[in-house]
Each structure stands twice: as C-alpha cells, then as structure tokens.
C-alpha cells in the first residue's frame, strides 16, 4: 500500500503548546503575549549554549522586525536565562522534551532545529541540526521577505473575505498550471437550477473559463497539503465547527484572448448547493491584468491573492470575476462542503 507521510513544513501553522518559562510564568503559544510579530522558535536539544551563542550579537537585528524569540530547552539549562535575555530570547524549559519531540517528529528534523514563523504562527523558514550555522541568516531572510512593504492603510470598507498567503509554493503552482495545459478541458460550465434540480451546462454568456478536474494522486496530495493549512483558518476566523471536506479541485484559466469572466453569482444559491459554505480561490500565477474578483454588495474594489495565496469567502456572497484584459490567470478552485 502506498502510504504518503506528510511532514510539517513551510506554510504550515505550528501546533499550540503550553510551557512555563524560567520564572514560572505559563506561556500559551497562541496567547497574545507570544504573538503580534514574527517568531523565532528554537528547539535546542543538548545544544542550548551553542544556539544562544549563534544569536548572541543579532538581538537588534530581530528587534527591527518586532520578532519574539523563544528557545525550548532541557530544564537543566535554565541557568542560561540571563545570557539568553542578552540575545533577546526567552527560555521555555521542556520537561522530557515532550513538545520538542512532537515538533521534531512532525517535521522529520533533529535537534537543534529552527522554526521561523510569521505573525500567524505559520512556518516561513525551517532548518535542522545540519544547518545550525545558518539559523540566524535563514530567519532574517524569511522575515525580510514577509515584512510589510507599505505603511499602514486605513481600511474603511471591505468585503468580508479572508486572504491567506503562501499556501502553495512556486513549484506547486507551476505544476498545477502544467496539469491544466495537458488536461481535458471543460469550458464555460455553470450550475443551472430548475426547481429542486441542479444540472451542469455550458453558458459562455455567463462564464468564460476552461477547467480541468483534478483526480488521483494529485488530488490526494492537495488534500493532505491544504487541509492542515486551511482548516485552522476557517475554524478560527469563521468559528466553523461542522464536519466538512473539500469538493473536487479544479484548475481554471481565464484568458485575455476571449476576455474571460464570470458574471455575478452566488455559489450556494439553490437548495441542492446549500452544502457549500466557503469558496476557495487560489492564484497560481501573476503577470496578468483583469480577471480579478469583485464583491458588488460591498463596493467596487477588486480582490486577488498573491501567487500561491488563497482568497476564502462565504458561498452566500454575490461575487464576479471581471474580464481579463492581459495574459492568463490560472486559479485552483474548490469549496468547503458539508456533503462528505
């Protein structure tokens, strides 16, 4: 039997844990005193002093990013807390290495290990024992990449949607585009409701997009990759606690050649589609113009996640895809469904 083992890696949200620091203060990793900025999480194993020395002269570098720095340590190394503070680190003794071992087993790494996290506790850099000399460099490069590029903006009106960046990496996006190019296309197909029945029909006046349905090994890969990255966001942001799964994944392409679009619609407008709760629209490329999502009930703004990111929104929202004017927009599409 072909059993695929999934490792915790880039893009995954790390598990929560509860430990006391060297002063006896309980630290809940998802609590506000551990969040609000990027995070360095070191699992030092038997190398606490070497890890702290590695970061000794870099405290101001990570303060620039507003980073929180924590090291899970063997309790016998607790006396290093004053030195750790000079490096900007809070030490979290890990009795029996229970938390550390769970992280290491999930990621396939050995200690010492680095987990650099974004403010949402998702992994943006990860490294194991063989790369200890580059831990600080790896974290710094990741924090530079995710740092806000623009000053804060005042948001006065927005559709109730959720952006999640970096869910798919560039290689996965490119692979999906190649699958679309070589796959069997379904053109301009929409749901048509008549009474209690919903059927599929080609309606180019409503939608101009060619889709390829994903099946087999690639479908299984997407399920085990995306579920742990998407599920925590949906359950946390929308307080959605029903049992659910993904509908079939489709790769769609809007082409400027025929001004691809999708007229305003809702994704669960009929009783037969009421099992759909949230729509997921992943962007697989950039370099196009038009083809953006718009939610006309909430203004005229256009919405598009970055390459590898996803836009999640309620299936009850009226939305459209405006005509694409330059290039092609490739998108991975699915729905959160309670019909499983």
Domain ranges of the chain: 18-146, 161-337
- Single pTM value for the model: 0.89
**Fold (topology level) of 18-146:** Glutaredoxin (3.40.30)
Looking at residue 270, what is its pLDDT?
A: 84
- Which helix (H) or strand (E) segment holds residue 83: the answer is helix 81-86
Look at residue 68 in the predicted model and tell me its pLDDT: 93
Q: What is the pLDDT of residue 196?
A: 47
Contact in structure between 319 and 294 (CB atoms under 8 Å): yes
Collapsing DSSP to helix, strand or coil, 125 comes out as strand
pLDDT at residue 199, as a whole number: 45
How far apart, in whole angstroms, are the C-alpha atoms of residue 167 and residue 124? Answer: 11
* 51 closest CA partner among 102, 8, 89, 96: 89
Given this model, what pLDDT does residue 297 score? 98
Output phi, psi for 77, to 5 deg.
-95, 10
Q: Which residues of the chain have pLDDT under 70?
A: 1-5, 32, 34, 188-203, 340
Q: Helix or strand or coil: residue 200? A: strand
Q: Which residue has the tokens 């939610």?
A: 295
Residue 197 in tokens: 């029945």
What pLDDT, on the 0 to 100 scale, is given for residue 115? 98
Between strands 328-337 and 89-93, the pairing is unpaired
Which sign does the torsion angle of CA 193, 199, 205, 206 carry?
Answer: positive
Buried b (16+ CB within 10 A) or exposed e, 196-217: eeeeeeeeeebbbbbbbebeee
Counting every residue written for the chain, the total comes to 340
Q: Pairing relation of β-strands 210-213 and 186-187?
A: antiparallel
Question: What is the pLDDT, as a whole number, of residue 200?
Answer: 53
Class of domain 161-337: mainly beta
Report helix, strand or coil for 250. Answer: strand
Residues contacting residue 223 through CB under 8 Å, at least 6 positions apart: 246
């Amino acid at each position: 039997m072909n059993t695929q083992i999934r490792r915790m890696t880039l893009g995954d949200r790390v598990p929560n844990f509860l430990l006391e620091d060297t002063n006896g203060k309980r630290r809940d990793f998802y609590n506000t005193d551990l969040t609000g900025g990027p995070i360095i999480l070191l699992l030092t194993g038997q190398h606490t002093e070497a890890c702290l020395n590695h970061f000794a002269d870099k405290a101001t570098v990570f303060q620039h990013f507003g980073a929180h720095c924590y090291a899970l340590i063997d309790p016998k190394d607790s006396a290093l807390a004053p030195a750790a503070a000079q490096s900007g680190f809070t030490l979290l003794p890990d009795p029996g290495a229970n938390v550390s071992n769970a992280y290491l087993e999930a990621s396939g790494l050995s200690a010492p290990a680095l987990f650099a996290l974004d403010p949402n506790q998702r992994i943006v850099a990860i490294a194991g024992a063989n790369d200890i000399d580059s831990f600080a460099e790896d974290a710094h490069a990741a924090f530079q990449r995710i740092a806000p590029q623009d000053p804060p903006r005042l948001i006065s009106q927005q559709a109730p949607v959720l952006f999640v960046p970096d869910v798919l990496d560039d290689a996965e996006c490119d692979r999906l585009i190649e699958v679309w190019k070589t796959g069997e296309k379904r053109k301009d197909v929409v749901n048509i409701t008549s009474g209690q029945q919903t059927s599929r029909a080609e309606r180019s006046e409503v939608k101009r997009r060619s889709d390829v349905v994903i099946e087999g090994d690639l479908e299984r890969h997407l399920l085990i990759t995306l579920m742990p990255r998407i599920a925590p966001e949906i359950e946390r942001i929308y307080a959605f606690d029903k049992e659910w799964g993904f509908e079939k994944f489709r790769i769609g392409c809007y082409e400027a050649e025929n001004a691809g679009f999708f007229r305003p619609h809702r994704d669960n407008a009929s009783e037969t589609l009421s099992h759909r709760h949230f729509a997921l629209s992943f962007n697989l490329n950039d370099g196009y113009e038009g083809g953006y999502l718009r939610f006309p009930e909430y203004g005229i703004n256009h919405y598009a996640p970055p390459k590898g990111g996803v836009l999640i929104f309620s299936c009850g929202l009226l939305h459209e895809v405006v005509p694409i004017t330059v290039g092609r927009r490739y998108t991975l599409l699915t729905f959160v469904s309670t019909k499983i």
